[in-house]
Amino acid sequence: MLSLLSTLLMLAVAQLGSLEGYVFRETDGGPPRRPLTVELIDQGRTRYHGTTRSDGAFEFSKVRDGRYTIRARFGDFIIVKDNVTVTSKRKNFAVLMLPKRRVGVQSFRTVTADQLEAQSDRALQKKLRQAFGLVGKGDLAGAAQLYEQAVASGTQPGLWDALGVLYVKMGRTTEAYHAFEKAIEQDPKYLFSYAHLGTAYLEEGQYEDLVRLAKRALAIDPKWLTAYSLLAEGQAGVRNIEGAQQSAQTASELAQGKAPGPYLILSKLRWARRDCAGARKYMDRYLELNTSARDRPEIQKSLEILQACGAAH
């Protein structure tokens, strides 16, 4: 009986992994200016939580194998969230970037006059809470309808941006483009809308539009990491490999090498030049910072191609 119990306990322990990582600011690649709470969420419940150290690092031990939502917050304000897979079969690492929301000096605790106005509009807040609830239930059409009512009477770019995100999820691409452009028109310094529109262009393969948009964003903020990453993707799409490599390298330097994304772009660009060693080097670094990406089918396929490439050379 004791032997069976010991065996079961050993199996349970074997299914517990650990997760390390760090949080950094997109503005300059530095750590958060104050400690943040980092949480692992499963089925809407916080299963594990901790606090970032002074360098932005965090660590969880004895985490049950599985897929989680990982998020960083300050007080009740959720700053960023992503998905992460924890497994006892390998080292697990995750990076969270605190996004730059708007051009100019602004922390996640800073609010604009428009945001204050929105917060004081009880009718608007009621609509937004209802929309959030509908999204949680999967009723995207109902949520979009409430946001359409909100943008008709409001001037906050965030409302148009959120509506655009809903349109993308619903497959209403043309309407999404219009919503993001309306957000940019209302506040050209609101960076989220450039990022969301650029991602939509990338997913649709509209590389020339993506290049033009990224350059518009860089004219507003010449040191925006996300814009350089999007520009690199667009340049790669139009076969400007040299320009794409320069843009991706700039993105990585702006993040002080802490962002995983630019390494994946650089790996693809090295592969385009049939530089197997260079492609593997950047892919290895990407997967060191984003171990969960190993589970994505496209990454698994890329790894198979790179392994074959290495064997052929």
DSSP string, 216-247: HHHHH-TT-HHHHHHHHHHHHHTT-HHHHHHH
Enter the pTM of the model.
Answer: 0.87
**pLDDT the model gives residue 12:** 53
User: What are the pLDDT tens digits along the chain (313 aa)?
Assistant: 555 565 555 555 558 999 999 999 999 999 999 999 999 999 989 999 999 999 999 999 999 999 999 999 999 898 999 999 999 999 999 999 999 998 865 444 444 444 444 444 677 888 888 888 888 888 999 999 989 988 887 678 999 999 999 999 999 999 999 999 999 999 999 999 999 999 999 999 999 999 999 999 999 999 999 999 999 999 999 999 999 999 999 999 999 999 999 999 999 999 999 999 999 999 999 999 999 999 999 999 999 988 888 655 4
**pLDDT the model gives residue 113:** 42
Q: Are 43 and 50 in contact (CB under 8 A)?
A: no
Ordered by start, the domain boundaries in the chain are: 18-98, 113-262, 263-313
Q: Which of 67, 125, 77, 126 is nearest to 98 (CA)?
A: 77
* Per CATH, domain 113-262 is 1.25.40.10: yes
Q: How many degrees, rounded to 5, is the angle at CA 128 between CA 126 and CA 132? A: 120
The CATH number of the structural domain formed by 18-98 is 2.60.40.10
Q: Which of 93, 84, 106, 99 is nearest to 29 (CA)?
A: 99
